[in-house]
Amino acid sequence: MARKRKGRPVHGWLIVDKPLGVTSTQIVGRVRRALDAQKIGHGGTLDPLATGVLPLALGEATKTVSYAMDGRKTYRFEVCWGEATSTDDREGEVTETSDHRPERAEIEAALADFHGTIAQIPPRFSAIKLQGERAYDLARENREFELAARPVEIERFVLCDSDRDTFNPDLASFEVDCGKGTYVRSLARDLARKLGTVGHVSALRRTSVGPFHENDAISLESLEALGHSPAALELLLPVETALDDIPALALSETEAARLRSGQSVSMLARSRSDQVRMLNSGSIVFAKTGDTPVALARYEAGDIHPVRVLNL
Protein backbone atom coordinates (compact mmCIF):
# COMPACT_ATOMS: atom_id res chain seq x y z
CA MET A 1 0.00 0.00 0.00
CA ALA A 2 1.42 3.39 -1.05
CA ARG A 3 2.34 5.79 1.73
CA LYS A 4 0.00 8.76 1.95
CA ARG A 5 1.74 11.99 0.96
CA LYS A 6 2.02 14.52 3.78
CA GLY A 7 0.46 17.96 3.47
CA ARG A 8 -2.44 19.49 1.59
CA PRO A 9 -3.23 19.01 -2.12
CA VAL A 10 -2.46 22.53 -3.36
CA HIS A 11 -2.39 23.19 -7.13
CA GLY A 12 -1.11 26.22 -9.01
CA TRP A 13 1.86 28.54 -9.45
CA LEU A 14 3.34 30.74 -6.75
CA ILE A 15 5.88 33.39 -7.74
CA VAL A 16 8.40 34.19 -5.02
CA ASP A 17 10.74 37.18 -5.08
CA LYS A 18 13.86 35.27 -4.12
CA PRO A 19 16.09 37.13 -1.64
CA LEU A 20 19.86 37.27 -1.77
CA GLY A 21 21.93 34.54 -0.17
CA VAL A 22 19.57 31.55 -0.18
CA THR A 23 19.34 28.67 -2.65
CA SER A 24 16.31 27.85 -4.77
CA THR A 25 16.04 24.51 -2.95
CA GLN A 26 15.89 26.29 0.41
CA ILE A 27 13.06 28.47 -0.91
CA VAL A 28 11.13 25.35 -1.94
CA GLY A 29 11.46 23.90 1.56
CA ARG A 30 10.32 27.08 3.28
CA VAL A 31 7.30 27.52 0.99
CA ARG A 32 6.35 23.86 1.40
CA ARG A 33 6.25 24.38 5.16
CA ALA A 34 4.45 27.72 4.89
CA LEU A 35 1.64 26.30 2.75
CA ASP A 36 1.76 22.71 4.04
CA ALA A 37 1.83 21.66 0.38
CA GLN A 38 2.04 18.01 -0.65
CA LYS A 39 4.06 18.54 -3.82
CA ILE A 40 6.21 21.48 -4.93
CA GLY A 41 9.12 22.22 -7.22
CA HIS A 42 10.84 25.27 -8.68
CA GLY A 43 10.89 26.36 -12.28
CA GLY A 44 14.39 27.52 -13.13
CA THR A 45 17.15 27.64 -10.52
CA LEU A 46 18.57 30.94 -9.31
CA ASP A 47 22.05 31.02 -7.77
CA PRO A 48 22.34 32.24 -4.15
CA LEU A 49 23.86 35.49 -5.52
CA ALA A 50 20.77 36.16 -7.64
CA THR A 51 17.44 37.68 -6.60
CA GLY A 52 14.08 37.98 -8.28
CA VAL A 53 11.43 35.88 -9.97
CA LEU A 54 11.42 32.24 -8.84
CA PRO A 55 8.30 30.42 -10.08
CA LEU A 56 7.20 27.56 -7.82
CA ALA A 57 4.90 24.85 -9.16
CA LEU A 58 2.56 23.20 -6.68
CA GLY A 59 0.63 19.96 -7.16
CA GLU A 60 -0.52 19.40 -10.73
CA ALA A 61 1.34 22.52 -11.86
CA THR A 62 4.57 20.50 -11.58
CA LYS A 63 3.49 18.76 -14.80
CA THR A 64 3.74 22.07 -16.68
CA VAL A 65 7.19 23.21 -15.45
CA SER A 66 9.05 22.40 -18.66
CA TYR A 67 6.66 24.55 -20.70
CA ALA A 68 7.09 27.56 -18.44
CA MET A 69 10.88 27.24 -18.53
CA ASP A 70 10.95 27.21 -22.33
CA GLY A 71 9.81 30.84 -22.29
CA ARG A 72 11.90 33.99 -22.50
CA LYS A 73 13.70 35.21 -19.39
CA THR A 74 14.69 38.77 -18.50
CA TYR A 75 17.60 39.67 -16.25
CA ARG A 76 19.07 42.90 -14.90
CA PHE A 77 22.69 42.56 -13.92
CA GLU A 78 25.86 44.43 -13.11
CA VAL A 79 29.33 43.68 -14.47
CA CYS A 80 32.45 44.58 -12.55
CA TRP A 81 35.32 45.24 -14.97
CA GLY A 82 38.94 44.36 -14.28
CA GLU A 83 38.61 41.08 -12.39
CA ALA A 84 37.84 37.60 -13.72
CA THR A 85 36.75 35.03 -11.15
CA SER A 86 36.62 31.24 -11.05
CA THR A 87 32.81 31.27 -10.98
CA ASP A 88 32.30 34.30 -13.27
CA ASP A 89 30.53 36.05 -10.39
CA ARG A 90 31.58 37.72 -7.17
CA GLU A 91 31.50 34.48 -5.17
CA GLY A 92 34.57 33.04 -6.90
CA GLU A 93 38.28 33.59 -6.44
CA VAL A 94 39.97 36.21 -8.61
CA THR A 95 41.84 34.43 -11.40
CA GLU A 96 42.92 37.33 -13.61
CA THR A 97 43.01 41.13 -13.53
CA SER A 98 43.15 43.92 -16.09
CA ASP A 99 43.67 47.67 -15.86
CA HIS A 100 41.64 48.37 -18.98
CA ARG A 101 38.21 49.93 -18.48
CA PRO A 102 35.92 50.13 -21.53
CA GLU A 103 34.32 53.42 -22.55
CA ARG A 104 30.56 53.68 -22.86
CA ALA A 105 30.70 53.90 -26.67
CA GLU A 106 32.88 50.77 -26.79
CA ILE A 107 30.40 48.83 -24.70
CA GLU A 108 27.41 49.86 -26.81
CA ALA A 109 29.23 48.94 -30.03
CA ALA A 110 30.28 45.52 -28.69
CA LEU A 111 26.71 44.59 -27.71
CA ALA A 112 25.83 44.23 -31.40
CA ASP A 113 27.79 40.95 -31.45
CA PHE A 114 25.59 39.51 -28.69
CA HIS A 115 22.22 39.50 -30.41
CA GLY A 116 20.35 36.68 -32.11
CA THR A 117 21.73 33.14 -32.00
CA ILE A 118 25.20 33.10 -30.45
CA ALA A 119 27.57 30.32 -29.39
CA GLN A 120 28.10 30.33 -25.63
CA ILE A 121 30.35 28.23 -23.40
CA PRO A 122 28.69 27.70 -20.00
CA PRO A 123 30.60 28.67 -16.84
CA ARG A 124 32.81 25.98 -15.34
CA PHE A 125 30.76 26.29 -12.17
CA SER A 126 27.45 25.25 -13.72
CA ALA A 127 25.05 22.30 -13.52
CA ILE A 128 25.99 20.99 -16.97
CA LYS A 129 26.65 17.24 -16.89
CA LEU A 130 29.78 15.62 -18.35
CA GLN A 131 29.68 11.82 -18.34
CA GLY A 132 27.20 11.88 -15.50
CA GLU A 133 29.03 14.41 -13.31
CA ARG A 134 28.12 18.06 -12.72
CA ALA A 135 30.59 20.61 -14.01
CA TYR A 136 30.60 22.45 -10.67
CA ASP A 137 31.68 19.27 -8.88
CA LEU A 138 34.55 18.79 -11.33
CA ALA A 139 35.55 22.45 -10.94
CA ARG A 140 35.55 22.24 -7.13
CA GLU A 141 37.88 19.24 -7.37
CA ASN A 142 40.20 21.15 -9.75
CA ARG A 143 39.79 18.46 -12.41
CA GLU A 144 40.57 19.22 -16.03
CA PHE A 145 37.57 19.37 -18.36
CA GLU A 146 36.16 21.37 -21.24
CA LEU A 147 32.61 22.50 -21.87
CA ALA A 148 31.40 22.68 -25.44
CA ALA A 149 29.86 25.85 -26.85
CA ARG A 150 26.14 25.67 -27.52
CA PRO A 151 23.69 27.98 -29.27
CA VAL A 152 21.56 30.34 -27.19
CA GLU A 153 19.10 33.05 -28.19
CA ILE A 154 19.60 36.69 -27.16
CA GLU A 155 16.60 38.84 -28.08
CA ARG A 156 17.70 42.07 -26.40
CA PHE A 157 20.91 43.13 -24.63
CA VAL A 158 21.22 46.76 -23.62
CA LEU A 159 23.36 49.00 -21.42
CA CYS A 160 21.16 50.54 -18.72
CA ASP A 161 23.35 53.41 -17.50
CA SER A 162 21.36 56.32 -18.88
CA ASP A 163 23.23 59.22 -17.28
CA ARG A 164 26.49 59.76 -19.15
CA ASP A 165 27.68 62.25 -16.51
CA THR A 166 27.64 59.57 -13.80
CA PHE A 167 29.10 56.75 -15.90
CA ASN A 168 31.15 54.47 -13.61
CA PRO A 169 34.27 53.12 -15.36
CA ASP A 170 34.44 50.10 -13.02
CA LEU A 171 30.84 48.94 -13.26
CA ALA A 172 28.15 48.68 -15.93
CA SER A 173 24.49 47.70 -15.65
CA PHE A 174 22.66 45.72 -18.33
CA GLU A 175 19.30 44.18 -19.14
CA VAL A 176 18.92 41.10 -21.31
CA ASP A 177 16.01 39.13 -22.76
CA CYS A 178 17.20 35.64 -23.54
CA GLY A 179 16.10 32.12 -24.34
CA LYS A 180 16.39 28.84 -22.50
CA GLY A 181 19.86 27.77 -21.39
CA THR A 182 21.52 31.21 -21.49
CA TYR A 183 24.06 31.91 -18.75
CA VAL A 184 24.29 35.58 -17.75
CA ARG A 185 27.69 34.90 -16.18
CA SER A 186 28.97 33.74 -19.56
CA LEU A 187 27.56 36.86 -21.22
CA ALA A 188 29.46 39.05 -18.75
CA ARG A 189 32.66 37.05 -19.18
CA ASP A 190 32.52 37.07 -22.98
CA LEU A 191 31.53 40.73 -23.27
CA ALA A 192 34.49 41.71 -21.09
CA ARG A 193 36.84 39.68 -23.31
CA LYS A 194 35.35 41.32 -26.39
CA LEU A 195 36.15 44.70 -24.85
CA GLY A 196 39.77 43.80 -24.17
CA THR A 197 39.41 43.33 -20.43
CA VAL A 198 38.03 40.83 -17.93
CA GLY A 199 34.95 40.99 -15.75
CA HIS A 200 32.41 39.17 -13.63
CA VAL A 201 28.77 39.49 -12.53
CA SER A 202 28.58 41.47 -9.30
CA ALA A 203 24.76 41.65 -9.04
CA LEU A 204 21.97 39.72 -10.77
CA ARG A 205 18.18 39.94 -10.68
CA ARG A 206 15.67 37.96 -12.76
CA THR A 207 12.62 40.05 -13.57
CA SER A 208 10.59 37.57 -15.64
CA VAL A 209 10.33 33.91 -16.62
CA GLY A 210 7.93 33.13 -19.44
CA PRO A 211 4.50 34.39 -18.33
CA PHE A 212 5.66 35.22 -14.78
CA HIS A 213 6.82 38.73 -13.88
CA GLU A 214 8.00 40.80 -10.93
CA ASN A 215 4.52 42.14 -10.30
CA ASP A 216 3.32 38.54 -9.73
CA ALA A 217 5.90 37.93 -6.99
CA ILE A 218 5.57 37.94 -3.21
CA SER A 219 8.42 38.18 -0.76
CA LEU A 220 9.28 35.07 1.22
CA GLU A 221 8.74 36.92 4.50
CA SER A 222 5.23 38.03 3.49
CA LEU A 223 4.28 34.52 2.44
CA GLU A 224 5.55 32.98 5.67
CA ALA A 225 3.60 35.58 7.65
CA LEU A 226 0.39 34.43 5.92
CA GLY A 227 1.11 30.78 6.77
CA HIS A 228 -1.68 28.28 6.09
CA SER A 229 -4.36 30.96 5.76
CA PRO A 230 -6.82 31.25 2.83
CA ALA A 231 -5.07 34.52 1.91
CA ALA A 232 -1.91 32.56 1.06
CA LEU A 233 -3.82 30.29 -1.32
CA GLU A 234 -5.34 33.32 -3.04
CA LEU A 235 -1.83 34.18 -4.26
CA LEU A 236 -1.73 31.07 -6.44
CA LEU A 237 -1.93 31.49 -10.20
CA PRO A 238 -3.85 28.83 -12.16
CA VAL A 239 -2.02 25.72 -13.36
CA GLU A 240 -2.68 26.73 -16.98
CA THR A 241 -0.83 30.05 -16.58
CA ALA A 242 2.33 28.29 -17.79
CA LEU A 243 0.55 27.17 -20.97
CA ASP A 244 -0.30 30.57 -22.46
CA ASP A 245 1.77 29.92 -25.60
CA ILE A 246 0.32 26.44 -26.26
CA PRO A 247 -2.76 26.04 -28.50
CA ALA A 248 -5.88 25.28 -26.48
CA LEU A 249 -8.54 22.78 -27.58
CA ALA A 250 -12.03 22.71 -26.10
CA LEU A 251 -13.41 19.22 -25.39
CA SER A 252 -16.78 17.89 -24.39
CA GLU A 253 -17.15 16.14 -21.04
CA THR A 254 -17.23 12.76 -22.82
CA GLU A 255 -14.03 13.54 -24.74
CA ALA A 256 -12.34 14.82 -21.59
CA ALA A 257 -13.18 11.56 -19.83
CA ARG A 258 -11.59 9.59 -22.68
CA LEU A 259 -8.42 11.66 -22.53
CA ARG A 260 -8.20 11.34 -18.74
CA SER A 261 -8.44 7.56 -19.06
CA GLY A 262 -5.51 7.49 -21.49
CA GLN A 263 -7.50 7.16 -24.71
CA SER A 264 -7.10 9.29 -27.84
CA VAL A 265 -9.73 11.74 -29.09
CA SER A 266 -10.43 12.41 -32.77
CA MET A 267 -10.16 15.99 -34.04
CA LEU A 268 -11.39 15.23 -37.56
CA ALA A 269 -15.00 16.34 -37.10
CA ARG A 270 -15.93 19.31 -39.31
CA SER A 271 -16.69 21.45 -36.25
CA ARG A 272 -13.04 21.05 -35.23
CA SER A 273 -11.57 22.53 -38.42
CA ASP A 274 -10.77 25.96 -36.98
CA GLN A 275 -9.11 24.43 -33.92
CA VAL A 276 -6.82 22.02 -35.76
CA ARG A 277 -6.05 23.84 -39.00
CA MET A 278 -2.79 25.32 -37.68
CA LEU A 279 -1.56 22.17 -35.94
CA ASN A 280 1.30 20.05 -37.22
CA SER A 281 1.94 16.39 -36.49
CA GLY A 282 3.60 16.23 -33.09
CA SER A 283 2.20 19.56 -31.88
CA ILE A 284 1.48 19.81 -28.15
CA VAL A 285 -1.94 21.17 -27.25
CA PHE A 286 -3.66 22.12 -24.02
CA ALA A 287 -7.00 20.32 -23.74
CA LYS A 288 -9.73 21.63 -21.47
CA THR A 289 -13.43 21.30 -20.89
CA GLY A 290 -15.13 24.54 -19.94
CA ASP A 291 -12.68 26.28 -17.60
CA THR A 292 -11.18 23.01 -16.32
CA PRO A 293 -7.75 21.92 -17.58
CA VAL A 294 -7.77 18.29 -18.74
CA ALA A 295 -4.38 17.37 -20.18
CA LEU A 296 -1.40 18.21 -22.28
CA ALA A 297 -1.80 16.18 -25.44
CA ARG A 298 0.04 15.47 -28.69
CA TYR A 299 -1.69 15.91 -32.06
CA GLU A 300 -0.97 13.13 -34.56
CA ALA A 301 -2.85 11.99 -37.67
CA GLY A 302 -6.06 13.78 -36.71
CA ASP A 303 -6.15 12.55 -33.10
CA ILE A 304 -4.88 13.94 -29.83
CA HIS A 305 -3.14 11.59 -27.42
CA PRO A 306 -2.68 12.36 -23.71
CA VAL A 307 0.89 13.25 -22.64
CA ARG A 308 0.29 14.60 -19.12
CA VAL A 309 -3.17 14.30 -17.59
CA LEU A 310 -4.02 17.08 -15.12
CA ASN A 311 -6.05 15.76 -12.21
CA LEU A 312 -8.01 18.86 -11.27
β-bridge mates for residue 177, sequence order: 74, 156
| Residue span of the structural domain in which 58 resides | 12-71+211-242
> Taking the model in full, what pTM does it have?
0.88
Q: Do residues 262 and 162 share a domain? A: no
Domain membership of residue 125 (yes or no) is: yes
pLDDT in tens, 23-62: 888 999 999 999 988 899 887 788 888 999 999 999 999 9
Q: How many domains does the chain have?
A: 3
Domain membership of residue 6 (yes or no) is: no
Q: Do residues 118 and 65 share a domain? A: no
Q: Do residues 204 and 82 share a domain? A: yes
274 is known as an active-site residue = no
Domain membership of residue 230 (yes or no) is: yes
Question: According to the model, what pLDDT value does residue 71 have?
Answer: 83
> Domain of 301: which CATH number?
2.30.130.10
Question: Considering 193, 209, 225, which residue would you say is the last residue of a domain?
Answer: 209
- Of residues 47, 88, 89, 216, which has the active-site annotation? 47
| Residue 1 pLDDT class (50, 70, 90 cuts) | very low
Q: Do residues 227 and 255 share a domain? A: no
Query: What is the mean pLDDT of the segment spanning 298-308?
Result: 89
Query: Average per-residue pLDDT in the chain?
Result: 89
Query: What is the mean pLDDT of the segment spanning 59-76?
Result: 89
| Residue 164 pLDDT class (50, 70, 90 cuts) | low
pLDDT in tens, 203-259: 999 999 989 999 989 999 999 898 888 888 889 999 989 888 888 888 889 999 999
Question: According to the model, what pLDDT value does residue 272 have?
Answer: 61
Q: Do residues 128 and 51 share a domain? A: no
Q: Sign of torsion, CA 291 295 299 302?
A: negative
Q: Which helix (H) or strand (E) holds 192?
A: helix 184-194
> Domain of 199: which CATH number?
3.30.2350.10
Q: Are the beta carbons of 125 and 137 closer than 8 angstroms?
A: no
User: Which of helix, strand or coil describes residue 124?
Assistant: coil
